[in-house]
Chain A
Amino acid sequence: MTKSYKEAFWWSLFSAGGMIAAMLVPVQIFLTGIAEPMGFVSLDHMRALVSNPLTKLYLLALLSLPFFHCAHRIRHVLYDVGFRGMQTPVAVVCYGAALLCMLYAVVTIVSL
């Protein structure tokens, strides 16, 4: 048995992403998933907000680490329900998907 820095790395991302998700995702869901479609947010105000660099930083934090948090949890759930024989492919798919989502997020936010 030897130290695994890889696992320490993924766990750190999971931990940071989990804290961000716990703090920010509920209010985000309420605002962008329920309040905004139902017309409680002015479009001009939303556009002004997202063009602000501080908002972009906030969005980058929200749409990066939480993907890795979810990926780590889903990876381990897959192990727990029987995919333990495919350790490496499952990990690659999960973290790979998170990376792709994060890259899409960076591109989207930067071009706003």
Chain B
Amino acid sequence: MSYRRPIASNWWMAKTNYKLFMFRELTAVFVWLYLIFYLCQLSQLGKDPGTYTTFLSHRASFPWILFHIVALVAAIYHSVTWFNLTPKVIVVRQGEEKIPDGLIAGPHYAGWLGLSLAIIFIVLWS
């Protein structure tokens, strides 16, 4: 009679790698929350300037800024883990050799930096 060992529902707490995996997956919660909150902010933008300014001053309060800082950390963790995994998904060969992982992840990071700088420029300075 073979013995089955059940898996604990807190299985992910047993190993660092599993915990990191769970944090990576939970970044999705913060991203989703940010997108919803931003959507609310966008919908206020269409209203009169006074309403929007009041709304923004609300968003400048400590709990909101704290949320956005935490969400920013979570979003960056998502981006970094995502780009670092691209070499596993995209395999390019030159003859017998696989091109180095850096040549797959690198362009993604470069694109991320370039897009971010361009958007910052457009919003803050143009």
Interfacial residues, chain A to chain B (CB-CB below 8 A): 18-19, 21-41, 43, 45-47, 49-50, 59, 62-63, 66-67, 69-71, 73-74, 76-77, 80-82, 101, 104-105, 108-109, 111-112
Contact = CB atoms under 8 A, between A and B. Distances in A.
A108 B41 CA distance: 10
Given A24-B119, A104-B39, A35 B60 contact: no
Contacts of B124: 31, 35, 40-41
A18 B82 contact: yes
Contacts of B32: 66-67, 70-71, 74, 101
B35 A23 contact: no
Contacts of A111: 46
A74 B108 CA distance: 24
A46 B25 contact: no
Contacts of B57: 37
A101 to B, nearest CB: 6
Q: How large is the interface on B (under 10, 10 to 19, 20 to 34, 35 or more residues)?
A: 35 or more
B83 A66 contact: no
Contacts of A80: 12, 25
Main secondary structure of the interface of A (DSSP, over half): helix
A33 B59 contact: yes
Contacts of B65: 33-34, 37-38
A69 B29 CA distance: 10
B92 interface: no
Nearest to B9: A82
Contact of B25 (A35, A77, A109): A77
Nearest to A81: B9
B60 A37 contact: yes
B39 A21 contact: no
Interface string B102-126: 0000001001100110011011101
Which of B35, B57, B67 has the most C-beta atoms of chain A within 10 angstroms of its own C-beta?
A: B35
B3 to A, nearest CB: 22
